[in-house]
Every structure is written in C-alpha cells, then in structure tokens.
A and B are shown apart, each in its own frame.
Chain A
C-alpha cells in the first residue's frame, strides 16, 4: 500500500512540472511582455518612459533571458517565496488577490460535489433496481437534459425564473445591501438564498452523467451470482443491495473524483461569471481579457495543481477501497 502511494506521488511530480510550464507558456503567449504592458499603463496615467528605459527595465527583470530561465525564475519564486508576481491591473501582488476567491471556489466546488453524490448515488441505485419504472424513465430524461444544457444557460434560466416568479435577484453571493457588512445571521440567511443556484447548476451537470454510470454499473453487478447467493441466504433487498453491489458500483465514483474537480472548476468559471459570484471565475476572465497575464497564469496554475492533487487523492482512495488495484 505504502509503495503504491509513493509511486503515485512520484508520478504527480512530472505532471505538476508540466502543468506549471504550460501555465507559464500561457502567460508568455500574448504579444508584448510585462514591460510593454507597464509602459502602456504609464502612458494611460500621463507618464511615459523612453525606449532606453524600457530596455533597461527588460534587462533588469531579465525579460531577455531564454524562456526556460524565465520559467525557472517564475516557478522558484512561487515555490520558495510564495510570490506569484504582480497584477498590473490591480497593482497588487497576485497572492493577495487570489486566496480568498480560491477559498470560495473550493467551497462551492466541494459542496456541489457532495450534492452531486447525494443525488446521483440513490437515484442511480433506484433506477437500476427498479429498471423501466416510471421514475427510471424520468431520471433518464433528466440525465439527458442535464448533459445537454450548458451550465451558463441553466444558471441564466434559473436566475430569470426566480426573478420573474419570486421577484428576487439572486446574482452575487449576497444581496447588495449586505455587501461589506459583518457576517451575522441575516447575512448568512441571505447568502443561503443565493448560493443554491450555483450548487444546483454545478450539481445537475455532474449528477446527470453519474446517474447513468451508477445505473449501468449497478445493472452489471445485480446480475452477478453473488447477489443471487445473498438473496438465497435470506437477506432483505435493502441489505443485499446496499451492502454488496453498491460498494462495487461506487468504484468509478471514487476514481473520477479527480476528474470531477477540473469539470467543477470549469463549470464554476462560467457559472460564476453569469451569476457574478466573487470566485476565481470572473477574476480569471477579467485578467485574461485585460491580458493581466501573471494573475491569469497563477489562476490556471493553482487550479491545475488542485486538480492534480485531487487526482492523486482519488487514486489513493480507490486503492484503499479496492485491493485489486494496489496489487496489480
């Protein structure tokens, strides 16, 4: 077991290096560099620097060095000093800008993942044990709709419906009058009336797919002889189903925790933009549009690192729950 975990962790290292490199390349992709942007910003505020000064700055910040050298400087600053560079647009250190938003992104993603599982597992088990029942068809339809409706459209429609029917504006994390207020019960209550939309939006997309997976796995398992044996020994249906086949059918859930994370982050970006949530999404979008590349690159890096960690964790969980995997 330990050796399996160690191997898995070792594999994560080259992936992390590669991910960080890609993030850095994205930072470098747009034409011009930090100094060009800096000079443009100075010009906007009425100041200006000469070509010679620009060249001097470039030399000082080492922007003429080869890509790999620059990459090394960037990543070693991050790893050793936690310094992600500066955001030009906000004129602040990137690390000051992102942590709070990342926290909220993680919270929403985790919550919606739990939500997804709470929907998908019982529904999948039900659909499989009561195959071809009315509810099975209903869930099938739901599954297809959930797969077909893009996140942002669902968010828009939910927002519109609550606005028209309940006359509530559910955009943002809290209503405008609560913004900047200290946290109290009223504010928390207000937040709860807002937070359900992103949760529902993110959970439906994920649950739609997982219900199908759960149903298919359960159908495969229910036909196996050990289930019949269990019935023959006189156990009730509930005991048989939940004690044996469900545990086997859960494997793909555990193994896709890692993949669910990137999907959730992706979904979160768009949903948050539509719903105007203070998560990473809108800030990343803004940074990309303004070509504020240190900020954007850091976001992409951190989201990817979370994903890699999530994948490793899910692999370890899977090995814990299914001995066949760690011995193969």
Chain B
C-alpha cells in the first residue's frame, strides 16, 4: 500500500527537481559508499541549497548572542512596534556604505497611535563589531562585542522591526531558532531511540511481537495528534522550570513521532533479513546481536538518516503549534511558536505585519528539512540503478 511515507523517492520527487546525469563510470566503481552518497546528494540542487541554508541558520542560532545586535529580553519603551529598517546603499543619489535612515516617532493626533517615519536627512551607517550589551559567548567568554549594530544613543537597527515591548524581533528570532531547532533535534533523538528499537524488534523477529508492535503503531496513528498533545502538554504544571517543560514537550512530541521511523526500520529489516550476507553471517556463527549491529544496521544508516531528517519538520511544526496555542513553551523562553503568540489576532497583524516573520522562518526551515530529507532519501542507496 502506498502512502506518502512509503513512496519511492524516484516517483515522488526527483523527476521534476533533480535531472539525472551519468556517473563517471570509472570513478564510481572505486568510490567509497559515502562518496557515492555525496555525489548523488549533490545532484539534488534544492537539497544542497537547503543544506547550506540550514548550516548557516544553525551557526546563526549557535552564535545568536554575537550575531544579534541586542538582547532578546531588552525592552525599549520608546521603540514599540517599530517597523523593520531597510538597509540601503544609496543616499541622495550617491553610493554610500550600508546604512539605515533613523526613525522619527510621532503620534497620530486623533487616535494617539504611535507612528514612525523615516528621517531621510540623516544616515545611520551600519557598523560591524560594535560594543553593545554584555553577554557570555557560548556561556564561556564574557564580552560585549556584537557583529553589527548602529552607533547611536537613541536609534536602533531593527532588521525585522520590534514587538509590543520594543524588543528587537531579529534578535528574538535568532534566539528562538536555538530553542525551536534544538527541540526538533532532541525530539527526533528520542523518537530515534524508540523507533529504532521497536522497528528493529518488529522487523527482525516478526511473529506475535511484530503483530503487537504493528497494532500499537496503528493505534498511535489513529489518535488525533493535536488534541492528544494538547492534553498531555496541558497536564504539565505551570510552576515547573521552563527548561524541564521544554524537555518534556519534546518527549511528548516524540512519543507520537516515532512510528514513521519504526515503519522505515521495520521495512528495511524485513528486506535485509533474506539477504545472502545475513545468512552467511548466521552460518558463520555470528550472534544475533552481532548480525543486527554489525551487518544489518550499517546497511540502513542512510535510510535512517533520511527518515530522521524528514521527521524533524514534524517536530518543529508540533512545537510551534503547541507554543502558539499557549500549551507548549511559555515566555520567558523564546521559541518561534512563543514569538508567534504575539501575532495571534487580526488587530496586531494589521498593525505590525512583521510579527509574522517567525512564521516565515518556520516555513523555510520545514521546507529546507523536507528537501534535505528527500535528497538524502534519493542518495540513500548509492548502488541502486
């Protein structure tokens, strides 16, 4: 039976996106599997672009405190709902180093709403390696150096605008990336353990164990996930440490997410079980444990990695949705879902559309992981075809 998770990558994806090329025959005979996988992966242009994007985003998130101009919780009373600054290079018809125009804050005389206007007479050059708020780089080195910023006592540079408390959204987006991305990774790590163990048992031993695990998986798939997540997440006491809640939320997400991985692992085990080299290993007297860990698992590593990559976006979407509803992570923790809570009603969005930026970040990351996963799945079997 075909559903979206078992489709062959060939028919699902590669035709429109990855044109086939001929291998260089000589080189491909002698290349190591890892090299072959990389060659194949490289042909999937979108996947390569996505991989580069994710690496950059990962580095940005890792060094969020250095890359962002301000602190994630720094409130600026006089800069609420400021629109994004546009970085320009042309001032008065002449080329200029990158700069932004300062914003002038006024109030609408009738509605008392705060209005911002660019002051086109002055320029605020974007400076690199400026001194700003003090932080501890990677939690180790105390410093106040920031990658970029502006040298002005009153003006700020807000690449993505500010929120209702005047906090810089770009900064918060980078800090949120830490939590959201790592929630995806940790959640996938948990489901990896569960899925690998249960999938392996199910596929290798078969019989009633297999039947039971299959029933369990069917059962989990038949529960509406969001209500269940919501129920479990709501049961976590509010008073608990946010960090602990964060770990628990990822566990809750992975309790449901492991089934896809288990399916992939089981399927691979079923097909590998009858391979000659497995029989040979058994005849040579290898123990079950050795057969599984030394002979069968290495043959499916690439499939597992592909399945894991495809599972990450599910986790990220889950975290975002839960936090958005107010059941997942809660402020002071900054995650993309938490940031999107600010953009929950129509009034705020029409006033400050840039608050949807974390949502766009979610979409980009989910797409990137999907493309990488598809590319990996295509490349997973370098000897096929």
| Residues in A lying within 8 Å of B, measured CB to CB | 15, 18-19, 22-23, 26, 29-31, 131-132, 136-137, 140, 144-145, 147-153, 156-157, 159-160, 163-164, 169, 171, 209, 212-213, 215-217, 219-220, 251-252, 255-256, 258-259, 261-263, 265-267, 269-270, 273-274, 284-285, 288-289, 291, 296-297, 299-300, 303-304, 307-308, 311
How long is the Cα–Cα vector from A215 to B232 in the complex, in angstroms?
Answer: 37
With A153-B359, A169-B346, A216-B2 as contacts: A288 and B327 at CB distance below 8 Å? yes
How long is the Cα–Cα vector from A120 to B148 in the complex, in angstroms?
Answer: 47
- Give the contacts of B300-315 with A (CB-CB under 8 A): 313
CB distance from B57 to the nearest CB of A (A): 15
With A147-B367, A216-B11, A220-B2 given, can you name 13 additional A-B contacts, CB distance below 8 Å? A26-B228, A136-B16, A137-B16, A145-B363, A156-B343, A164-B350, A265-B224, A266-B226, A270-B324, A270-B325, A284-B227, A285-B325, A289-B234
**Chain A residues in 8 Å Cβ range of B324:** 152, 270
State whether the Cβ of B15 lies closer than 8 Å to any Cβ in chain A. Answer: yes
State whether the Cβ of B179 lies closer than 8 Å to any Cβ in chain A. Answer: no
- Identity of the chain A residue whose Cβ is nearest the Cβ of B239 in the assembled complex: A31
Question: Which of B231, B326, B346: most chain A Cβ within 10 A?
Answer: B231
Are the CB atoms of B2 and A217 closer together than 8 Å? yes
- Give the contacts of B158-174 with A (CB-CB under 8 A): none
Are the CB atoms of B223 and A262 closer together than 8 Å? yes
With A148-B367, A274-B344, A288-B230 as contacts: A212 and B12 at CB distance below 8 Å? yes
How long is the Cα–Cα vector from A251 to B3 in the complex, in angstroms?
Answer: 10
CB within 8 A of A163: which of B221, B232, B235, B346?
Answer: B346
Question: Which of A148, A171, A213, A220: most chain B Cβ within 10 A?
Answer: A148
- Identity of the chain B residue whose Cβ is nearest the Cβ of A311 in the assembled complex: B222
How long is the Cα–Cα vector from A164 to B347 in the complex, in angstroms?
Answer: 11
How long is the Cα–Cα vector from A3 to B364 in the complex, in angstroms?
Answer: 49
Are the CB atoms of B237 and A31 closer together than 8 Å? yes
Are the CB atoms of B223 and A284 closer together than 8 Å? no
**Chain A residues in 8 Å Cβ range of B346:** 159-160, 163, 169, 171
CB distance from B181 to the nearest CB of A (A): 15
CB distance from B309 to the nearest CB of A (A): 14
State whether the Cβ of B339 lies closer than 8 Å to any Cβ in chain A. Answer: no
**Chain B residues in 8 Å Cβ range of A259:** 3, 221-222
| Residues in B lying within 8 Å of A, measured CB to CB | 1-4, 7-8, 11-12, 15-17, 218-219, 221-228, 230-235, 237, 313, 317, 320-321, 324-327, 340, 343-344, 346, 349-350, 353, 356, 359, 362-364, 366-367, 370-371
Are the CB atoms of B370 and A252 closer together than 8 Å? no
**Chain A residues in 8 Å Cβ range of B221:** 259, 262
How long is the Cα–Cα vector from A133 to B325 in the complex, in angstroms?
Answer: 41
- Identity of the chain A residue whose Cβ is nearest the Cβ of B3 in the assembled complex: A252
Are the CB atoms of A251 and B1 closer together than 8 Å? yes
How long is the Cα–Cα vector from A171 to B346 in the complex, in angstroms?
Answer: 9
**Chain B residues in 8 Å Cβ range of A23:** 231
With A26-B235, A262-B223, A299-B227 as contacts: A147 and B370 at CB distance below 8 Å? yes
Are the CB atoms of A147 and B8 closer together than 8 Å? no
CB within 8 A of B327: which of A22, A140, A220, A289?
Answer: A289
**Chain B residues in 8 Å Cβ range of A163:** 346, 350
**Chain A residues in 8 Å Cβ range of B226:** 265-267, 269-270
With A150-B359, A252-B2, A265-B226 as contacts: A26 and B16 at CB distance below 8 Å? no
- Identity of the chain A residue whose Cβ is nearest the Cβ of B322 in the assembled complex: A270
- Listed A/B pairs (14) with beta-carbon separation below 8 Å: A19-B219, A23-B231, A26-B235, A132-B15, A150-B317, A156-B356, A160-B350, A169-B346, A252-B1, A265-B227, A284-B227, A288-B230, A288-B327, A303-B224
How long is the Cα–Cα vector from A261 to B350 in the complex, in angstroms?
Answer: 33
CB within 8 A of B230: which of A160, A269, A304?
Answer: A269
**Chain B residues in 8 Å Cβ range of A252:** 1-3
**Chain A residues in 8 Å Cβ range of B325:** 270, 273, 285
**Chain B residues in 8 Å Cβ range of A304:** 222-224, 227-228
**Chain B residues in 8 Å Cβ range of A149:** 363
Are the CB atoms of A303 and B15 closer together than 8 Å? no
CB distance from A102 to the nearest CB of B (A): 12
**Chain B residues in 8 Å Cβ range of A157:** 356, 359
- Identity of the chain B residue whose Cβ is nearest the Cβ of A157 in the assembled complex: B356
CB within 8 A of A291: which of B219, B234, B326, B362?
Answer: B234
Are the CB atoms of A307 and B223 closer together than 8 Å? yes
With A30-B235, A273-B325 as contacts: A213 and B4 at CB distance below 8 Å? yes
With A15-B222, A258-B222, A262-B225 as contacts: A220 and B356 at CB distance below 8 Å? no
**Chain B residues in 8 Å Cβ range of A256:** 3
How long is the Cα–Cα vector from A89 to B320 in the complex, in angstroms?
Answer: 28
- Identity of the chain B residue whose Cβ is nearest the Cβ of A127 in the assembled complex: B16
How long is the Cα–Cα vector from A297 to B353 in the complex, in angstroms?
Answer: 36
**Chain B residues in 8 Å Cβ range of A148:** 313, 363-364, 366-367, 370
How long is the Cα–Cα vector from A215 to B228 in the complex, in angstroms?
Answer: 32
Question: Which of A153, A163, A252, A308: most chain B Cβ within 10 A?
Answer: A153
Are the CB atoms of A285 and B356 closer together than 8 Å? no
How long is the Cα–Cα vector from A267 to B367 in the complex, in angstroms?
Answer: 19
Are the CB atoms of B16 and A153 closer together than 8 Å? no
Are the CB atoms of A150 and B362 closer together than 8 Å? yes
**Chain A residues in 8 Å Cβ range of B313:** 148
CB distance from A97 to the nearest CB of B (A): 16
Are the CB atoms of A307 and B363 closer together than 8 Å? no
Question: Which of A259, A261, A285: most chain B Cβ within 10 A?
Answer: A285
**Chain A residues in 8 Å Cβ range of B3:** 213, 252, 255-256, 259
- Identity of the chain B residue whose Cβ is nearest the Cβ of A152 in the assembled complex: B324
- Identity of the chain B residue whose Cβ is nearest the Cβ of A31 in the assembled complex: B237
CB within 8 A of A270: which of B16, B17, B321, B349?
Answer: B321
Question: Which of A18, A136, A156, A217: most chain B Cβ within 10 A?
Answer: A156
Are the CB atoms of B367 and A144 closer together than 8 Å? yes
CB distance from B345 to the nearest CB of A (A): 9
**Chain B residues in 8 Å Cβ range of A150:** 317, 320-321, 359, 362-363, 366
CB distance from A161 to the nearest CB of B (A): 10
